[in-house]
A and B are shown apart, each in its own frame.
Chain A
Amino acid sequence: MAFMNAVTIAGVGETEYSKNSGRSELQLSLEAISRALEDAGIDRKEVDGLLRWSVDTSPEATVAANMGIEDLAWFGEISQAGNVGAALIANGAAAIHAGLANVVVIYRGVNGRSGRRYGRGDVTGRSGRGAAAYSEPFGLLTPQHGLALMARRRMFETGVTSAQFGMVAVTERGHANRNPRATFYDTPLTLDDHQNSRLIVDPFHLFDCCLETDGGGAIVLTSTDRAKARPGPSAMIRAAAQGGYSSHGFTDTAAVALAPRLWKQAKVDPSEISVAQIYDHFAPFVVFALEDYGFVLRGEGGEFVSSGEITWESGSLPVNTSGGHLSEAYMQGMNQLIESVRQARGESTSQVRDAQFSFVDTGIGTGAVVLERGE
């Protein structure tokens, strides 16, 4: 069996989120790591494992040198793009569970607005090589292009509408308006605002698209026994799974393959989840995740959203309670993982009561985590 609460997210930390941090991506990571270790009550000398997104620009060795780590016993990166947050949690927890490391820090520092911008294909590139030779020459240049192509077909097949996607954005904005850390804390959003916002890549309107953010975030993993030094409720890793290479259908997210594995590993089913953070680089993918992870049936996600079921605090499954990537910050899943820890601990600005099980999808169904509150 996988780790089943043997490993805990013992600390989380983040910098402010902005359009121009005024400092390096490395510094953003280091500041976030310091805060996460302080939150965990763990000295930096105890850290012996480091993990990052492969798109992150700060090598583990550089981070280790800055932290003064004497013996970096375990480290790594996970490839693809922003969507590997859960894979990092799963691999870090596995290393601790296997005894390869005692304290693993996962970090992300990015100048996503003032530096290289995802929305312009600065990170994912335009090479015309390999598989890109069959997409980029026809104008599929950025992540949103390929995802919009899938979303359009899924709208055709299931009848989900742009206005229902808009209600994802409106709901998340409402949550951001309660969260002082959120980029859009002070700015409300109506469905009319969404529907009247300009088209970026049709069917995606401006307010279907995530922010571009400068910021840093970090997560400290350690054994649940070691984590008990921190007082108060904790965020135990009930299950964590990665995926994404299955040969699923064009309109399926990778969750179609991953979800059965995740729920089996977690020994809970979707109806037992109280709160969810879902990777919303584009609003439609919240609807698709709700369906493909089995929270609702395929074709029912749009109605689930527009009828208020993902809205704090009246909804049955509040989603993206910090404002998500659409309205808090786009940290490639890091800020959503941090919010899920807050929910497990009872520290969110839109706290779901009695949230024993908290769910996180970290991108198009390619990875997910279930956290359980520990007392």
Chain B
Amino acid sequence: MSDYLWVRPANLTLPDPDENSVEFWEGLKQGKLLLQVCGVCTQTNYPPMVMCSGCAGFDFEWREAEGGGVLYSYVVTHQPIHPSLVDYTPFLTALIELDEGPRVTSNIINIAPERAKIGMRVKLELFQVNSEITLPLFVHE
């Protein structure tokens, strides 16, 4: 394992939770990546939806993700296309396919961008930005 550790750009956009996603972001603060599961047809959604596209239901339950998954796709930002990214490129943004099925946009924090490989195993590593926001990031196992 390399010593690489990604430094999150200090001014990179933070989530601004709305009324449909309060529980999700609250779950992360409490150490859990919550997946929205339809109480009727059991379809699993990420991000959370307002109405279940599988059965048109509005009753959802939350289930904690196990945290394992594989790298499904990724990009490496080289051009600091916004002032907040200057001095932080290149960096990796990953699309992780969780073992439960849904795909999560995130970052893999312990591999250099050039080592990313589709199909590699990753696991969840929560990253507390501040007292309000914790993000679901990942590490290569």
- Chain A residues with a Cβ under 8 A of chain B: 119-121, 126-142, 145, 148-150, 152-153, 156, 198-203, 247, 250
Contact = CB atoms under 8 A, between A and B. Distances in A.
B123 interface: no
Contacts of A127: 13, 16
Interface in B32-58: 46-47, 53
Contacts of B110: none
Contacts of B128: none
Contact of B73 (A129, A156, A247): A156
Contacts of B79: 198-201
B103 to A, nearest CB: 7
Nearest to A132: B13
Interface centre among A130, A133, A135, A203, by most B CB within 10 Å? A133
Interface size class of B (residues with CB under 8 A): 35 or more
A131 B47 contact: yes
Contacts of B81: 119-121, 141-142, 200-201
A134 B47 contact: yes
A148 B9 CA distance: 20
B14 interface: yes
B18 A152 contact: no
A131 B49 CA distance: 10
Given A121-B81, A134-B46, A141-B82, 10 more contacts: A128-B15, A129-B16, A134-B15, A137-B13, A138-B94, A139-B85, A149-B93, A152-B74, A201-B77, A202-B75
Interface string B7-34: 0010011111110010000000000000
Contacts of B90: 199, 202
Contact of B18 (A129, A149, A199): A129
B102 to A, nearest CB: 11
Interface string B128-141: 00000001000000
Contacts of B104: 134
17 contacts: A119-B81, A120-B81, A121-B82, A127-B13, A130-B18, A133-B21, A138-B106, A139-B85, A149-B73, A149-B93, A152-B118, A201-B75, A201-B77, A201-B81, A202-B76, A202-B78, A202-B113
Nearest to B117: A156
